Amino acid sequence: MADGQTIGATSPGAASTPLLASAQAATAGAGPAESIGTFHALGLRDYRLLWISNLFASAGMWIQMATLGWVVYDLTGSGTLLGAMNGTRAIPFLLLAPLAGVAADRMNRRAIMLGTQVVTVLIALGLAIGLALDRVIIWHLFAFSFISAAVQVFYMPVQQTVVFDLVPRRVVPNAVALGSAAFNITRVLGPSIAGFLIAGLGPEGNFFVQSAAYMGVVISIAMITFPVRLAPPGGPSVARNIAEGFRYVVKDRTTRVLLMLAIIPPLLIIPSMMALMPVFAKDIFHSGPTGLGLLLSASGLGGLLGALFTASLGRFERRGLMQLGVLLLASSALFAFGFTRSMGAALPLLVVAGFGEMIYMTTNQTMLQLSVPDHMRGRVTSLFMLTMALMPAGAMLFGGAADLVGAPAVVKGASAAALGLGLLLLVFAPRVRNLRLSQVGSAAASAHPPAGSGA
């Protein structure tokens, strides 16, 4: 839906401008900051439906990732091809992320969310049928990975920015952390379920389950009442919108620092915990698909604990120092994991690594969202997604390196680099170390969109 058209649901007395809508959202449910408990945002109906949709989406995604990685490595025995399939996911992020950010700022967010999830249901169902009929070959898996990533490129900025449409601004840190908790609840259960389903029903059963999970996303989103968003007529071109996003990041130092910090886990930590786990399960621990599920679930359990911890922080200020502390914690745990040769020693280390990584990423995402004015949020979020493209690109490099020097050596090298970088930032980057929650929220909350910006 182009600029100048009504975006979202309509209702009597709805706000007629983005500024009025934002003011109403900011005051809805107002109360003392101290009243925000761990599960506060779930008391808001529309956010609760969004949270349920996140739960379904994450369940489908984790079942997909565990199953797809196992199928590729089982068919080929190649860490390089396993990494390449994950690397395929980087291409849509790099090509489409800026455009997806403009879409999140200018188009009907409800329609984007519903449309992308319908596509995901169809491609998961198609792959399930193909596997059941034994018609799937390796290039089909690469194509599936590419298409699902392209869908995610457009879904993720809307999923993240729509939180500001559904909850008061003071509740945003709690809501973002609870969204991460939904992600990690399924990160704990999804891979284990996937492992048992592979062993019991075959990979096709997993993809049938995944398509059903994404139907749950569609139903939940369809029930949300989205506020009215009006865009002024005669807005700038898409190219100008994209350029505005880049210019904002270049000019705003806090946003720029947060985007730079966002690069570290996707490049150095997450690929170790995700892309190489099929190799550890099959070649190091000799535990098969059930072991793969346990490994992925262990890091997911840590992530869930980290998300709940972050949700309980309320208005805790020293977020920059906390980010660096948990970066050191996660990288140290992964470094120790690289030396393990038993499942019993590996699982608790992955719990610790997942705990630290999730606190880091949730804190970074929350502060980045709060640092940006409402009319720019989708575009800046899409630039955050460009940093996330490093994760599949890193997975491709990690997979190739694992074939050359072994998966344990790759994990040790990457985690040592992350540990060293965290120490350097702690000692020599006072701006990062002293970053506070109130510092990133005040300017963006009062910012107004420029004329014709397409807010």
The structural domains of the chain, ordered by start, are: 41-224+237-445 (1.20.1250.20)
C-alpha 152/C-alpha 237 separation (Å) is 24
pLDDT at position 246 = 79
- Residue 451: per-residue pLDDT: 40
Q: Which amino acid is at 336?
A: A
Are the CB atoms for 211 and 125 separated by under 8 Å? yes
Instruction: Report strand pairing: 229-230 vs 6-7.
Output: antiparallel
What does the pLDDT read at residue 420? 94
What pLDDT sits at residue 12?
A: 33
User: How high is the pLDDT of residue 413?
Assistant: 94
Tell me how crowded residue 414 is: count the other CB atoms within 10 A of its CB: 25
Whole-number pLDDT of residue 68: 82
Sign of CA dihedral 307, 311, 313, 317: positive
Q: What contacts 331, CB < 8 A, 6 or more positions away?
A: 268, 269, 356, 415, 416, 418, 419, 422
pLDDT given for residue 235 in this prediction: 56
The pLDDT value given to residue 182: 84
Residue 293 tokens read as 């599920």
Give the mean pLDDT per block of 10 residues along the chain (455 residues).
34 34 39 65 92 90 79 74 76 82 82 93 90 82 90 87 86 86 77 73 80 92 82 59 79 84 88 84 83 84 88 81 93 94 92 93 84 77 72 76 89 94 89 79 50 37
Q: Is the pTM of this model over 0.95?
A: no
Region label for 36, one of left (φ > 0), alpha (ψ between -120 and 50) or beta (otherwise)? beta
pLDDT computed for residue 25 by the predictor: 40
Is residue 230 classed as helix, strand or coil in its secondary structure? Answer: strand
